[in-house]
């Protein structure tokens, strides 16, 4: 049974939104909000980690009596009951006050609605806000709420959080159960690392109690494209700085865990999950749906089997004896990569590639998305915990994008709370360096939108013809 809406109102959230609209000149949608509910939904019997917090629900999820649009025009649905993710939020004590903007059907790592303006990046309004939980990220970054519900099927928490300079934690989750593997995890985007820990019920401080070994690479896993030099250099520096954490015993390079061509196999699972997307839909979701419907049963079965053995495959790659070594290396506990291959590019950098009036090809759009985020999906397919963290907060260098790095747990060797502790250490270390020499900011921030064309270069990429899927 669904608990009834709270007798409490949503006036505080509505007032914050109204004042932000007046101050910025932006609409609610541009601030990441689809709507504020007439009444809050909460269960006064629950005292979980979200107790007392106003929370926006991603517009892919159903709240009883409220409209869900799935980020798409023509799909307004009034829910009869709360879905599983919403029930979990209520059990954790959340006060649900409204709905946040999402990419259409959660299918892309950018959010550019065909029917109106999308969220505006508070770092630089020229930059994309990523996707698909872009409304959650922008609403938190703008101060509409301190915590927003989000989901992550290929980077959808971590990408938009990084795009606006916030941390984003994808919790560990189960991928393989009965039926089609599910790469999506439910979580939140919160204003800082400490509130992220609180909202997910994690200890505020949980320093590792055993020596940790860190792996690092800047090499993309899922394309053969480039990485912006500032991003690559900042990520390498961050990995090196982790050696100053008292629990880190060392850092060593790691190789890509599988050939880049394998991503085409893994992406079939995501495509299969898109095959029932409804009409109307814009070109990118339509293309994803068609790719899913073209898969044979044998192809889907083979892809599911590949995902099932992926954790074992990655562990074998990262724990093996390096070429030329006489003895086994220490297994790595966490792997550090860039979060994004370049700063968020201009709005339209992705969608223009699939625009039908310009002769666009959705396959090229998908390839560009993969090239921008060529690491995150591994942690969706394995189910391991992962965290994106900006090396400095946006207020340290207003108008410049703070580089975010990705800390990926290797199996269960490091906990989400320990990932957060490593991230705090990074932010404190770099803040100290900036205090001593402000020119450090030039090494960990980027001025202006990223150059997606430079990232793509002349490479065709192994995944340019691969299929993606909903809830990235």
Instruction: Categorize the per-residue pLDDT at 359 as very low, low, confident or very high, splitting at 50, 70 and 90.
Output: confident
Give the pLDDT mean for 307-332: 79
Based on the domain organization, do 339 and 375 belong to the same domain?
yes
Strand partners, 405: 338, 389
Based on the domain organization, do 222 and 341 belong to the same domain?
yes
Strands (E), 339-430: 386-390, 400-402, 404-409
Give pLDDT, residue 323: 55
Other CB atoms within 10 Å distance of the CB of residue 298: 8
> Is the pLDDT at 415 greater than 90, yes or no?
yes
Give the β-pairing of 400-402 and 445-447: antiparallel
**DSSP of 186-208, one letter per residue?**
EEEEESSHHHHHHHTT--S----
pLDDT tens by residue, 172-226: 999 998 889 999 999 999 999 999 999 999 987 777 778 999 999 999 999 999 9
Question: In the predicted model, what is the mean pLDDT of the chain?
Answer: 93
pTM: 0.94
pLDDT tens by residue, 123-173: 999 999 999 999 999 999 999 999 999 999 999 999 999 999 999 999 999
Give pLDDT, residue 206: 74
Based on the domain organization, do 246 and 160 belong to the same domain?
no
CATH number at residue 20: 3.90.1300.10
Give pLDDT, residue 74: 86
Based on the domain organization, do 186 and 217 belong to the same domain?
no
Q: Are 382 and 311 contacting, i.e. CB atoms less than 8 angstroms apart?
A: yes
Q: What is the distance between the alpha carbons of residues 152 and 143, in angstroms, rounded to a whole number?
A: 22
Q: Report which of 159, 141, 72, 58 is spatially closest to residue 112, judged by C-alpha positions.
A: 72
Q: Could you tell me if residue 470 is inside a domain?
A: no
> Is the pLDDT at 296 greater than 70, yes or no?
yes
Domain that includes residue 326, residue range? 212-260+299-456
Q: Which residues contact 170 (CB under 8 A, 6 or more apart)?
A: 152, 157, 158, 185, 187, 379, 380, 385, 386, 387
Evaluate the omega torsion of the peptide bond into residue 445 and state whether it is cis, within 30 degrees of 0.
no
Q: What is the distance between the alpha carbons of residues 268 and 302, in angstroms, rounded to a whole number?
A: 9
Cα four-point dihedral sign 95, 17, 74, 102: negative
* Helix, strand, or coil (residue 67): strand
Q: What percent of the chain has pLDDT above 90? A: 87
Give pLDDT, residue 209: 76
Give pLDDT, residue 463: 39
Based on the domain organization, do 191 and 217 belong to the same domain?
no
> Is the pLDDT at 5 greater than 70, yes or no?
no
Q: Could you tell me if residue 291 is inside a domain?
A: no
């Amino acid at each position: 049974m669904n608990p009834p809406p709270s007798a409490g109102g949503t006036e505080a959230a509505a007032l914050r939104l109204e004042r932000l609209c007046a101050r910025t000149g932006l609409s609610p949608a541009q601030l990441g909000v689809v709507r504020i509910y007439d009444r809050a939904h909460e269960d006064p019997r629950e005292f979980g980690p979200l107790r007392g917090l106003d929370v926006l629900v991603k517009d892919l999820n159903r709240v009883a009596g409220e409209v869900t649009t799935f980020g798409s025009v023509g799909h307004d649905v009034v829910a009869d009951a709360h879905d599983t993710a919403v029930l979990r939020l209520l059990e954790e004590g959340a006060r649900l006050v409204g709905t946040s903007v999402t990419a259409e059907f959660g299918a892309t790592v950018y959010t550019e609605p065909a029917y109106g303006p999308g969220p505006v990046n508070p770092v630089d309004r020229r930059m994309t806000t990523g996707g698909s939980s872009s409304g959650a990220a922008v609403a938190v970054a703008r101060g509409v709420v301190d915590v927003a519900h989000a989901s992550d099927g290929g980077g959808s928490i971590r990408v938009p959080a990084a795009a606006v300079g916030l941390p984003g934690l994808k919790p560990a989750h189960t991928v393989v159960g009965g039926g089609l593997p599910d790469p999506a995890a439910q979580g939140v985007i919160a204003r800082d690392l400490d509130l992220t820990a609180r909202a997910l019920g994690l200890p505020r401080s949980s320093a590792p109690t055993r020596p940790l070994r860190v792996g690092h690479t800047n090499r993309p896993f899922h394309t053969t494209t480039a990485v912006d030099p500032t991003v690559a250099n900042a990520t390498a520096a961050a990995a090196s700085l982790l050696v100053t954490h008292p629990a880190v015993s060392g850092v060593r390079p790691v190789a890509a865990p599988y050939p880049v061509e394998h991503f085409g196999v893994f992406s079939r699972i995501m495509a299969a999950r898109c095959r029932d997307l409804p009409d109307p839909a814009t070109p990118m979701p339509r293309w994803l749906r068609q790719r899913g419907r073209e898969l044979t049963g044998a192809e889907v079965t083979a892809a599911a089997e590949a995902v099932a053995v992926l954790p074992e495959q990655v562990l074998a790659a990262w724990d093996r004896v390096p070429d030329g070594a006489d003895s086994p290396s220490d297994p790595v506990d966490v792997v550090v990569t860039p979060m994004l291959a370049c700063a968020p590019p201009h709005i339209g950098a992705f969608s223009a590639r699939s625009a039908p009036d310009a002769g666009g090809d959705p396959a090229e759009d998908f390839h560009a998305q993969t090239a921008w985020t060529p690491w995150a999906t591994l942690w969706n397919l394995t189910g391991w915990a992962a965290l994106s963290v900006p090396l400095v907060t946006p207020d340290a260098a207003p108008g410049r994008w703070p580089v975010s790095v990705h800390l990926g747990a290797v199996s269960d060797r490091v906990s989400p709370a320990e990932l957060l502790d490593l991230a705090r250490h990074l932010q404190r270390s770099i803040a100290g360096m900036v205090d001593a020499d402000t020119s450090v900011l030039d090494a960990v921030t980027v001025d202006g939108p990223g150059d997606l064309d430079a990232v793509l270069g002349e490479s065709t990429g192994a995944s340019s013809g691969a299929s993606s899927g909903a809830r990235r």
